[in-house]
């Protein structure tokens, strides 16, 4: 095992989490109607689309641009240009709020990690944010692409890796996912129809501080990161991801994902906890990626959670849909603000995604 485990040392902390969304919010009913118009006669069974949208239990979603402007997108290049523009705006907003909530300023950052799976840019968005926000010229930056839904948890773990090596510094993770810009008009597969009702747009940022970090602002009071673990499941790459062509990103989403979660997640969480001296019954807080209804139900079954422990994840899914890598960060923000456990409580932050893989973080509040 190559876990980060801290024994007898003051560990890293999650100093803050903040989200940012586009200004265009639409009800699920409205979006269903627009998508029925969007596909028109290509959609042979409109009732199937309506049923799939109902089953994802999403009330409404934010979109990068107004709905009528999606009809004007004729190429992947056009969609990606919009992605670059909006990603900078939302990334800046989320990072500014996260820094403010932590009592920090941009010059306090030693590292900037950026994650996405819905667009590409070179220079990457983290470089563009340095220019927009006046971040330190010596900041270490790490763009991450391809981890998908697991990247929010993985990004926090990698930020923790950084401040473990540089304990007097702070690192920021920024996630921007604009899933609506990946929608494929020619793809009428069930996977694409589901994703058209499930995935949405948004951004989130998290600040992680080292054990020796000293802030001139407010005291850092977020949860400690006690340990992290990455788990890769061999030969499961067909479960989730993108098929990428000249038309952009085409969703790969296997119906077997919930079964994979039920078969592996409970065992892996128990092993992770045992290696750190805990049992599942010791956990009082759960911060899980939203996935979708079947994914959350599979997580609940695998972990034996049936008494409202995943309410934060369900509420995030209902309010804003699945934000891919940003989802678990938005859930974390909600727990910090509105569902904060008692001091000393032990919790787990977790996500799963393409690979197929899982990322686990042991927290102490």
Q: Domain range holding 53?
A: 13-209
Look-up: residue for tokens 């006669």? Answer: 41
User: Dihedrals φ, ψ of 141, to 5°?
Assistant: -120, 145
> Do residues 205 and 348 share a domain?
no
> Do residues 189 and 233 share a domain?
no
> Do residues 202 and 297 share a domain?
no
> Do residues 234 and 329 share a domain?
yes
> Do residues 171 and 296 share a domain?
no
Residues of the chain falling short of pLDDT 70: 1-10, 215-219
Vertex 111: Cα angle to 13 and 312 (nearest 5): 45
Query: In the prediction, which pLDDT does 216 show?
Result: 54
Indicate whether 139 belongs to any domain. yes
> Do residues 20 and 161 share a domain?
yes
> Do residues 166 and 79 share a domain?
yes
Q: What is the C-alpha to C-alpha distance for residues 309 and 117, in angstroms, rounded to an integer?
A: 28
Q: Which of 96, 149, 316, 357 is catalytic?
A: 149
> Do residues 186 and 242 share a domain?
no
User: Dihedrals φ, ψ of 139, to 5°?
Assistant: -65, 140
Query: In the prediction, which pLDDT does 6 show?
Result: 47
Using the 3D structure, point to which of 174, 209, 244 is the last residue of a domain: 209
Q: What is the C-alpha to C-alpha distance for residues 101 and 263, in angstroms, rounded to an integer?
A: 39
Indicate whether 357 belongs to any domain. yes
Indicate whether 149 belongs to any domain. yes
pLDDT tens digits for range 132-141:
999 999 999 9
> Do residues 150 and 235 share a domain?
no
Indicate whether 215 belongs to any domain. no
Indicate whether 2 belongs to any domain. no
235 CB neighbour count, 10 Å cutoff: 7
Indicate whether 305 belongs to any domain. yes
Indicate whether 216 belongs to any domain. no
Please indicate whether residue 357 is annotated as part of the active site: no
Indicate whether 8 belongs to any domain. no
Query: In the prediction, which pLDDT does 128 show?
Result: 97
Using the 3D structure, point to which of 167, 183, 209 is the last residue of a domain: 209
pLDDT tens digits for range 217-270:
556 778 999 999 999 999 998 888 888 888 888 888 888 999 999 999 999 999
> Do residues 149 and 247 share a domain?
no
- Domain total in the chain: 2
> Do residues 72 and 136 share a domain?
yes
CATH number assigned to the domain comprising residue 345 = 3.40.47.10
Query: In the prediction, which pLDDT does 187 show?
Result: 87
Using the 3D structure, point to which of 209, 232, 260 is the last residue of a domain: 209
Six token digits for residue 290: 């939203």
> Do residues 328 and 198 share a domain?
no
Strands 12-20 and 224-232, bridge-based pairing? antiparallel
């Amino acid at each position: 095992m190559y876990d980060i485990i801290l024994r007898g040392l003051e560990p890293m902390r999650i100093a803050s989490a903040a989200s940012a969304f586009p200004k265009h919010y639409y009800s699920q009913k409205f979006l269903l109607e627009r998508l029925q118009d969007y596909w028109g006669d290509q959609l042979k069974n409109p009732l199937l689309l309506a049923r799939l949208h109902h089953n994802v239990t999403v009330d409404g979603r934010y979109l990068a641009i107004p709905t009528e402007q999606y009809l004007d997108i004729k190429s992947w290049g056009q969609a990606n240009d919009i992605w670059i523009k909006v990603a900078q705006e939302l990334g800046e907003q989320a990072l500014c709020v996260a820094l403010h909530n932590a009592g920090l300023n941009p010059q306090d950052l030693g590292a900037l990690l950026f994650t996405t799976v819905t667009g590409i840019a070179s220079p990457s968005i983290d470089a563009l944010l340095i220019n927009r926000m006046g971040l330190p010229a010596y900041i270490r930056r790490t763009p991450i692409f391809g981890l998908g839904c697991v990247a929010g948890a993985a990004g926090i773990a990698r930020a923790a890796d950084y401040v473990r090596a540089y304990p007097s510094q702070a690192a920021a993770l920024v996630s921007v996912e604009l899933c609506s810009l990946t929608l494929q008009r020619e793809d009428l597969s069930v996977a694409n129809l589901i994703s058209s009702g499930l995935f949405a747009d948004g951004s989130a940022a998290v600040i992680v501080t080292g054990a020796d970090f000293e802030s001139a602002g407010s005291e850092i009071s977020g949860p400690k990161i006690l340990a992290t673990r990455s788990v890769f499941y061999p030969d499961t790459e067909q479960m989730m991801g993108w098929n990428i062509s000249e038309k952009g990103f085409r969703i790969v989403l296997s119906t077997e994902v919930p079964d994979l979660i039920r078969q592996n997640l409970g065992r892996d969480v128990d092993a992770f906890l045992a290696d750190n001296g805990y049992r599942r019954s010791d956990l009082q807080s759960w911060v899980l990626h939203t996935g979708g209804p079947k994914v959350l139900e599979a997580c609940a079954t695998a972990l034996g959670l049936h008494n409202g422990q995943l309410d934060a994840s369900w509420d995030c899914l209902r309010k804003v849909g699945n934000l891919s890598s940003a989802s678990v960060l938005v859930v974390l923000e909600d727990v910090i603000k509105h569902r904060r456990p008692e001091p000393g409580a032990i919790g787990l932050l977790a996500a799963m995604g393409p690979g197929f893989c899982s990322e686990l973080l042991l927290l102490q509040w």
